[in-house]
Amino acid sequence: MRTPRSLVVIPTYNERENLGPLVRQILEHEGCAVMIVDDQSPDGTGEVADDLAREFPGRVDVVHRVGKRGLGRSYVEGFGLALERDVDLICQMDADFSHDPKYLPSLIAAAEDHEVVVGSRYLNGISVVNWPLHRLILSTFANRYIRAVTGLAVRDCTGGFRCWRREALGRIPLGRIVSDGYSFMVEMLFEAARQQCRIGEVPIVFVERRMGASKLSSSVLAESVIMPWRLRLRKLLGR
Ligand SMILES: Nc1nc2c(ncn2[C@@H]2O[C@H](COP(=O)(O)OP(=O)(O)O)[C@@H](O)[C@H]2O)c(=O)[nH]1
Ligand SMILES: [Mg+2]
């Protein structure tokens, strides 16, 4: 069987030190190309991305967003552009090495019989390295809460390391996605489940970033509390 063509979409905000090494590791995998979606990072990540695009023509692309920044917005824009490309799979991952590119082959392989594959921290117990206890509790509680409210059967609903079959991603109404933080991950999975997509999970070990800072904010957390109920209502109303 031929290697599937995969485009890895990476949103960046202040990831200057991480981006170069990460992109190089991704490109070691046959069939993988990268699309960086930068939100005018003040630390110059956008220029690092441009340098990479020059170094790897045809394998690295950069989208420079302007206007209000946001993770969800960046993904919606990146996915829209990725769907115009001649690729089989569209992957997504963080730029901070929490998602190790070494797992790309297992996500890609699982996409053979699933339409969406989630790199999961919570398949075999908890596989997270270097998180303070409060963050672990928050994340595991959040996932239970999301599963209970939305009915999703996925163990890790908030993780951002995923691989989509192109047709499946194309069925998600990207223009209607409203959330922007962790909820964006939940909303995308919820819509995938509504489209009857087969969702699979493969185990990953998630390692907290060593360089740069997290952009987790309290408004993102507030959105995560409300969004599962909005999604449930949306389904109930058939919207
Ligand atoms: N384009 C873009 N990327 C973002 C934004 N906020 C976070 N990111 C990226 O999203 C990924 C995850 O963010 P991070 O701060 O590590 O969140 P955490 O892992 O939950 O602490 C990283 O690649 C960030 O650079 C944003 O507003 N715009
Ligand atoms: Mg992170």
> What pLDDT shows up at residue 216?
73
pLDDT (tens digit per residue) in 48-76: 999 999 999 999 999 999 988 999 999 99
Among residues 199, 141, 145, the alpha carbon closest in space to that of 169 is found at 199
> What pLDDT shows up at residue 131?
93
Q: Where are the alpha helices (DSSP H) in the chain?
A: 16-27, 45-55, 71-82, 104-110, 133-150, 166-171, 182-194, 218-236
- Does the Cβ of 8 fall within 6 Å of ligand 1? no
Cα end-to-end span (Å), the chain: 40
Give one DSSP letter per residue of 10-74, joined into a string.
Answer: EEESS-HHHHHHHHHHHHTSTTEEEEEEE---TTSHHHHHHHHHHHSTTTEEEEE--SS--HHHH
* 219 has pLDDT over 90: no
Average pLDDT (134-141) is: 92
Tokens read off for 129: 């390295």
- Does the Cβ of 12 fall within 6 Å of ligand 1? yes
Ligand 2 centroid–CA 112 distance in Å is: 28
Ligand 2 centroid–CA 211 distance in Å is: 10
DSSP-assigned letter for residue 176: G
> What pLDDT shows up at residue 13?
96
pLDDT (tens digit per residue) in 70-120: 999 999 999 999 999 999 999 999 999 999 999 999 999 999 999 999 999
> What pLDDT shows up at residue 2?
82
Among residues 145, 140, 142, the alpha carbon closest in space to that of 182 is found at 142
Ligand 1 centroid–CA 93 distance in Å is: 10
> What pLDDT shows up at residue 124?
86
Give me the domains of the chain, ranges plus CATH numbers. 6-236 (3.90.550.10)
pTM of the model: 0.97
Ligand 2 centroid–CA 154 distance in Å is: 20
Q: Between vectors from CA 105 to CA 18 and to CA 70, what angle results, nearest 5°? A: 40
- Does the Cβ of 94 fall within 6 Å of ligand 1? yes
Of the pLDDT bands very low, low, confident and very high (cuts 50, 70, 90), residue 230 is: very high
- Mean pLDDT, rounded, of the chain: 95
- Does the Cβ of 39 fall within 6 Å of ligand 1? yes
> What pLDDT shows up at residue 67?
86
CB burial of 151-188 (b: ≥16 within 10 Å; e: otherwise) equals: ebebbbbbbbbbbbbbebbebbebeebebbbbbbbbbb
Candidate from 13-22, 149-158, 208-217 with smallest mean pLDDT: 208-217
- Does the Cβ of 223 fall within 6 Å of ligand 1? no
